[in-house]
Chain A
Amino acid sequence: MRSQITVNGETRPWQAVDVVRLLQAEGLDPARRGVAVAINGAVVPRHRWAETAVQPNDLIEIVKPFAGG
Chain B
Amino acid sequence: MTQTYQLAGRTFSSRLIMGTAGFPNQQLLLDALAASGADVATASIRRISLEGYAESLVDLLGEDYQLLPNTAGCETVRDAVLTAQLAREALETDWLKLELIGDRETLYPDVVQLVEAAEILVKDGFQVLPYCTDDPVVCRRLVEVGCVAVMPLGAPIGSGMGICNPTNIELICANSPVPVILDAGIGTASDAALAMELGCDAVMINSAVAKALDPVAMAGAMARAVEAGHLAHHAGRIPKKGYAEPSSPQLGLIGS
A50 at the interface (CB under 8 A from B): no
B21 at the interface (CB under 8 A from A): yes
B42 at the interface (CB under 8 A from A): yes
Return the contact of B89 from the options A26, A43, A66, A68 (Cβ within 8 A): A43
**Quick one: CB contact mask for A17-56 with B, threshold 8 Å, 1 for yes?**
0000000001010001111111001010110000000000
- On chain B, the residues within 8 Å of A13 by CB distance are none
Return the contact of A67 from the options B53, B88, B91 (Cβ within 8 A): B53
Q: How far is the CB of B75 from chain A (nearest CB, A)?
A: 16
B228 at the interface (CB under 8 A from A): no
Beta-carbon nearest neighbor of B59 in chain A: A33
- On chain B, the residues within 8 Å of A69 by CB distance are 19-22, 42, 44, 70, 72, 157, 206-207
Chain B count of residues within 8 A CB distance of the other chain = 38
Beta-carbon nearest neighbor of B157 in chain A: A69
Could you tell me if A67 and B52 are in contact, using CB atoms closer than 8 angstroms?
yes
Could you tell me if B48 and A28 are in contact, using CB atoms closer than 8 angstroms?
yes
- On chain B, the residues within 8 Å of A43 by CB distance are 82, 85-86, 88-89
B174 at the interface (CB under 8 A from A): no
- On chain A, the residues within 8 Å of B74 by CB distance are none
- On chain A, the residues within 8 Å of B129 by CB distance are none
- On chain B, the residues within 8 Å of A66 by CB distance are 21, 43-46, 50, 52, 57
Return the contact of B90 from the options A41, A64, A68 (Cβ within 8 A): A64
Q: How far is the CB of B71 from chain A (nearest CB, A)?
A: 10
Could you tell me if B89 and A36 are in contact, using CB atoms closer than 8 angstroms?
yes
- On chain A, the residues within 8 Å of B207 by CB distance are 69
Chain A count of residues within 8 A CB distance of the other chain = 24
- On chain B, the residues within 8 Å of A45 by CB distance are 89
- Interface residue ranges of B7-49 to A (CB < 8 Å): 19-23, 29, 42-49
- On chain A, the residues within 8 Å of B45 by CB distance are 36, 63-66, 68
Q: How far is the CB of A40 from chain B (nearest CB, A)?
A: 10
Could you tell me if B47 and A34 are in contact, using CB atoms closer than 8 angstroms?
no
- On chain A, the residues within 8 Å of B87 by CB distance are 36, 65
Complex alpha-carbon distance, A9 and B46, angstroms:
12
Complex alpha-carbon distance, A33 and B59, angstroms:
8
Could you tell me if B82 and A38 are in contact, using CB atoms closer than 8 angstroms?
yes
Could you tell me if A63 and B47 are in contact, using CB atoms closer than 8 angstroms?
yes
Could you tell me if A67 and B47 are in contact, using CB atoms closer than 8 angstroms?
no
Could you tell me if B90 and A38 are in contact, using CB atoms closer than 8 angstroms?
no
Complex alpha-carbon distance, A61 and B47, angstroms:
7
- On chain B, the residues within 8 Å of A61 by CB distance are 47, 82, 86
Could you tell me if A34 and B23 are in contact, using CB atoms closer than 8 angstroms?
no
* 17 residue pairs from A and B, CB less than 8 Å apart: A9-B47, A28-B48, A32-B56, A38-B86, A43-B86, A46-B89, A61-B47, A61-B82, A62-B48, A63-B47, A65-B44, A66-B44, A66-B50, A67-B20, A67-B43, A68-B21, A69-B206
Chain A interface residues (CB < 8 Å from chain B):
8-9, 26, 28, 32-38, 41, 43, 45-46, 61-69
